[in-house]
Amino acid sequence: MEKQTQLYEGKAKKVFATDDPRRVIVSYKDDATAFNGEKKGTIAGKGAINNVMSNHLFRLLEQQGVRTHFIEQLSDRETVVEKVAIVPLEVIVRNVAAGSFAKRYGVEEGTAFAAPTIEFSYKNDALGDPLINTYHALALGLATQAELETIKRTAFRVNEVLCAYFDTLNVRLVDFKLEFGRTADGTIVLADEISPDTCRLWDKTTGEKLDKDRFRRNMGGVEQAYQEILSRVMGQ
Ligand code: TMP
Ligand code: ASP
């Protein structure tokens, strides 16, 4: 697989063309941002950790029948994935109140829900990724009704698989963000990444945060938290 010109650079990853028009290479960076890019920094080793961890979780999800963009890991930071058109929605599944949910609705962080909940943001940096509902997504032409149904069903299925998996690592999956893409033939597949950048992961015994909130909230111990979650995932 030959790496060709850079197609795109995002906040945490770069995407390169390959000699196969159906495949691209993603390259994970150590750059970290929060609050729509207002806070910037680096987390040493993050790119490699997120790449390896995300690929591990995508393989697990594939085994459980969830279609993802994952094809092959090339190196500690680089992975070949199926080229998709990203649906411009951030799909957020929550099991426990935290972050923007806790703040918006005045719920104490750590309050568990009786059943998981889901919300969508319109992926648009200029607008600050505003919350939207599925009717807005339809009105804006971001996805079809059938695609939204697939996305919702898949997101809750991903939650079931990942909650059970993280439980075996003594980790509570508080919430996470997913992105979906359309393949060349229009199939909706899970894309982007699943990592400590995109999940809230709390140690089940101590409640310790093992995710990007340590960076967002200036808590310190950021690199150690990423290392800890990686070693739990890979230690299996
Ligand atoms: P929130 O509570 O700030 O809305 O975040 C919910 C989850 O989504 C949390 O696990 C972090 C993740 N997330 C991202 O991956 N990217 C983002 O831009 C934001 C705002 C949250
Ligand atoms: N997406 C946020 C940013 O734009 C990062 C985050 O809070 O996860 O910087």
pLDDT tens-place string over residues 148-163: 999 999 999 999 999 9
Does any ligand 2 atom lie closer than 6 A to the CB of residue 14?
A: no
CA-proximal residue: ligand 2, atom 7 (nearest): 34
Does any ligand 2 atom lie closer than 6 A to the CB of residue 31?
A: no
Substitution site in 57, 158, 175, 178 for ligand 1 pocket (most atoms within 8 Å of beta carbon) = 175
- Which residues does 77 contact at the CB level (< 8 Å), separation at least 6? 27, 28, 47, 48, 51
User: Above pLDDT 70, what percent of the chain?
Assistant: 100
Residue 23 pairs in a beta bridge with 82
> Residue 203: in which H helix or E strand, if any?
strand 199-203
The residue type of 50 is N
DSSP conformation class of 211: S
Q: How far is CA 2 from CA 183, 213, 218, in A?
A: 21, 36, 40
For the residues 25-40, what does the mean pLDDT come to? 97
Cα(128) to centroid of ligand 2, in Å? 10
* Topology at the third CATH level for domain 3-82: Phosphorylase Kinase; domain 1 (3.30.200)
Query: Where does the chain hold its CATH 3.30.200.20 domain(s)?
Result: 3-82
pLDDT 10s digits, 62-104: 999 999 999 999 999 999 999 999 999 999 999 999 999 999 9
- Which residues does 47 contact at the CB level (< 8 Å), separation at least 6? 12, 27, 28, 29, 30, 77
Cα(1) to centroid of ligand 2, in Å? 31
Does any ligand 2 atom lie closer than 6 A to the CB of residue 128?
A: no
Helix (H, G, I), strand (E, B) or coil at 48: helix
For the question of whether the overall pTM of this predicted structure is more than 0.85, the answer is yes
Torsion of the alpha carbons at 105, 178, 130 and 149, rounded to the nearest 10: -90
Cα(50) to centroid of ligand 2, in Å? 15
Give the integer Cα–Cα distance in Å for 233 and 91: 23
Does any ligand 1 atom lie closer than 6 A to the CB of residue 176?
A: yes
Tell me the pLDDT of the chain averaged across its residues. Answer: 98
Q: In CATH, what number does 85-221 get?
A: 3.30.470.20
CB 89 within 8 A of CB 79: no
For the residues 222-228, what does the mean pLDDT come to? 98
Q: State residue 141's pLDDT score.
A: 98
**Polymer length of the chain:** 236
Whether 191 has a pLDDT exceeding 90, the answer reads yes
CB 60 within 8 A of CB 74: no
Question: What is the pLDDT confidence band of residue 1, given thresholds at 50, 70 and 90?
Answer: confident
The residue type of 109 is E
Q: State residue 140's pLDDT score.
A: 98
Cα(125) to centroid of ligand 2, in Å? 10
For the residues 159-172, what does the mean pLDDT come to? 98
Does any ligand 2 atom lie closer than 6 A to the CB of residue 183?
A: no
> Residue 29: in which H helix or E strand, if any?
none
Residue 185 pairs in a beta bridge with none
Does any ligand 1 atom lie closer than 6 A to the CB of residue 199?
A: yes
Give the integer Cα–Cα distance in Å for 206 and 3: 43
Query: Where does the chain hold its CATH 3.30.470.20 domain(s)?
Result: 85-221
Does any ligand 1 atom lie closer than 6 A to the CB of residue 192?
A: no
Cα(185) to centroid of ligand 2, in Å? 30
CB 226 within 8 A of CB 45: yes
Question: What is the pLDDT confidence band of residue 236, given thresholds at 50, 70 and 90?
Answer: low
Question: What is the pLDDT confidence band of residue 233, given thresholds at 50, 70 and 90?
Answer: very high
